[in-house]
């Protein structure tokens, strides 16, 4: 991945949920992901997709909410995060 590809990555992504998720009296209808910081990457390194998405939501969403996402929504979120990880592992 070259510098132009890295610069083209969006700094955030909002994903609308097909069905709201209820958790502890709150209703979540979307998740907003932001570019992870180096410390966030370290926090979820090797922990799996649910933890990675949980760490990169803003405002932070509880892990049980992320665990209830439809698989396509989870894959879309991890693809967004993965774009940053790919650029980091390529030495960029």
3-class secondary structure per residue, 36-66: CCHHHHHHHCCCCHHHHHHHHECCCCCHHHH
Predicted confidence at residue 92, as pLDDT, reads 45
pTM, entire model? 0.84
The answer to whether 18 and 70 are in contact (CB under 8 A) is: yes
pLDDT band for position 73 (cuts 50, 70, 90):
very high
- Report which of residues 89 and 50 the model is more confident about: 50
Closest to 35 measured CA to CA, from 73, 82, 72:
82
Predicted confidence at residue 9, as pLDDT, reads 86
Tokens in use for 28?
Answer: 């979540």
List the single range of 1-10, 36-45, 46-55, 78-87 with lowest mean pLDDT: 1-10
């Amino acid at each position: 991945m070259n510098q132009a590809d890295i610069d083209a990555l969006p700094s955030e992504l909002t994903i609308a949920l097909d069905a709201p998720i209820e958790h502890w009296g709150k209703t979540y209808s979307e998740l907003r992901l932001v570019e992870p910081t180096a410390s966030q990457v370290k926090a979820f390194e090797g922990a799996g997709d649910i933890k990675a998405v949980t760490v990169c939501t803003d405002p932070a969403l509880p892990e049980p909410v992320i665990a209830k996402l439809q698989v396509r929504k989870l894959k879309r979120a991890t693809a967004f995060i993965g774009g940053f990880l790919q650029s980091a592992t390529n030495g960029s």
